[in-house]
Structure 1
Amino acid sequence: MNKANPLILIIEDDPQTRRFLKTTLCNRGWRIIEAENGKTGLSMIKSDSPDLVILDLGLPDIDGISVTQRLRQLSDLPVLILSARSQEQNKIMALDAGADDYMTKPFGSGELHARLQALLRRVTRSISSSETFETGQLKVDLVRRKVFNAGNEVHITPIEYRLLSILIRHAGLVVTQRQLLKEVWGVEHIHDQHYLRIYMGQLRHKLEVNPARPRYLLTEVGVGYRLVDDVS
């Protein structure tokens, strides 16, 4: 990865959207390559080795969900879905297919840049295998499995720690309810959303100054949860 100027592959059939993305992202120092359909995009992943992919769902040849599934057979490259499909089910399907994050059109360039930076931080963390995670006053020792808030150790249960560690692994990105339930409780519990509500509520009471207005553990309504990784 070129850390100074990461390479983004935009897979998008609308020329106006591609032009806007290219202008916006190039102005922020990203390098851009483009594909107007899914087949070309998958080919460019092999030939050009991008650092990150921005993918539309409504492509003319292959649906974006299928592109994501095929991409995951090739690479663990970060994928941001950028689509006009705003229904929760579309978001869940894309994330379950292997996408890392999802934004709906229209979108703000500032938020897009922040989401892309979060994706690259995830890659950097996985490469460096950091032993600690910090955001704001929250610190997690991933080796000793200890959690600290404002310098004080917070005692959390094994299940709460497993939930938190999964969110840390995807920090800055949305993790679906289905994924959390599957990883923590097993595939037979993927429909038991009340488990998540209970345990996420407990985590917020332990980690947030105001659990009703969380700074770290955010809810993506109907989709899942996001751990904010850039709290100052």
Structure 2
Amino acid sequence: MSEHGRTRVLLVDDDVRIGRALGLALGDEGVDVDAVHTGEQALVSAARPGVDLVLLDLMLPGIDGLTVCRRLRETGDLPIIMVTARSDSADVIAGLEAGADDYVTKPLVAGELAARIRALLRRRRPTPAAPRRITVGDVELRPDEGTVLRDGAPVHLTRTEFRLFAELAAAGGRIVTRDELLSRVWGYEYHGDTRLLDVHVRRLRRKIELDPDRPVLVLTVRGAGYKVGGPGPDAALPGAAPASGRGG
């Protein structure tokens, strides 16, 4: 957060003109932009205090955007929105698998981008009225602390992964549709694009499931959405699909 209480975004893009134009446009939206142009500069600048979010182009000289994203994820949960010139599945899924919270495609529209930034930064913990502890199998979620434990050991989730798991856990085994999760976790409509959700479910499973390929805690209900289960013979409920594939 800047000294004036405004949101501060680190823009990583090798096109200097885009940095200048976006800085001016987002400034009118209440967002201050610090622009850097290489992956190496991004890793240094992101470690400095005051950065609220990283807007990261995938195509960079030197260290590429995917590598930058992975390294930032290894060191913390700073929100990351990746920028891609193409909306095809390969680019988007690669960026999300690397740890991005969200994605936007060029050309960038300042008003829409500012809305995405605000929605992502609102993603904190669930409301204080949420239960102090929720148990799903051998995993314990503590909404008021923003922590997750598996067999008593901390599990590091990004802010988005935590919010996703909290929404599913709070439903207590009821099915939560994809549209409901997109609305509650990301805060805006995606017009049927569920890649964002499905990749985050896969990332969540890799962290909390003993066998992510045979999930028992976060279950896919074909044609409906997702729900939480628990280990044991009743976990593989009818309609539960494996973690592989586009359905999550």
Range class of TM-score, shorter chain: 0.5 to 0.7
Is the CA contact (8 Å cut-off) linking 1:96 and 1:176 kept in structure 2?
no
Query: What is the match of residue 85 of structure 2?
Result: 84
Query: What is the match of residue 25 of structure 1?
Result: 26
C-alpha displacement at 1:108, in angstroms?
2.1
Query: What is the match of residue 130 of structure 1?
Result: 127
Q: Whose helix fraction is larger, Structure 1's or Structure 2's?
A: 1
Where do 5+ consecutive residues of structure 1 fail to align? 133-140, 146-155, 203-221, 226-232
1:157–1:50 Cα change, 3 Å? closer
Query: What is the match of residue 139 of structure 2?
Result: none
Look up the SS of the partner of 2:63 in the other structure. Answer: coil
Query: What is the match of residue 153 of structure 2?
Result: none
CA–CA separation in structure 2 for the residues paired with 1:169 and 1:69 = 25
1:30–1:36 Cα change, 3 Å? same
CA–CA separation in structure 1 for the residues paired with 2:221 and 2:92 = 19
Look up the SS of the partner of 1:67 in the other structure. Answer: helix
Look up the SS of the partner of 1:47 in the other structure. Answer: coil
- TM-score between both structures, scaled by the size of structure 1: 0.64
State how many pairs are aligned. 182
Structure 1 window deviating more from structure 2 (37-46 vs 161-170): it is: 161-170
Where do 5+ consecutive residues of structure 2 fail to align? 135-170, 189-194, 228-244
C-alpha displacement at 1:34, in angstroms?
1.2
Query: What is the match of residue 180 of structure 1?
Result: 201
- TM-score between both structures, scaled by the size of structure 2: 0.61
* One-letter amino acid of the counterpart of residue 199, structure 1: A
Query: What is the match of residue 213 of structure 1?
Result: none
Query: What is the match of residue 137 of structure 1?
Result: none
CA–CA separation in structure 1 for the residues paired with 2:115 and 2:41 = 27
CA–CA separation in structure 1 for the residues paired with 2:212 and 2:180 = 18
* One-letter amino acid of the counterpart of residue 175, structure 2: E
1:118–1:223 Cα change, 3 Å? farther
Alpha-carbon RMSD = 3.7
CA–CA separation in structure 2 for the residues paired with 1:201 and 1:77 = 26
Q: 2:185 aligns with which of 166, 170, 188?
A: 170
1:99–1:28 Cα change, 3 Å? same
Query: What is the match of residue 7 of structure 1?
Result: 8
Look up the SS of the partner of 1:170 in the other structure. Answer: helix
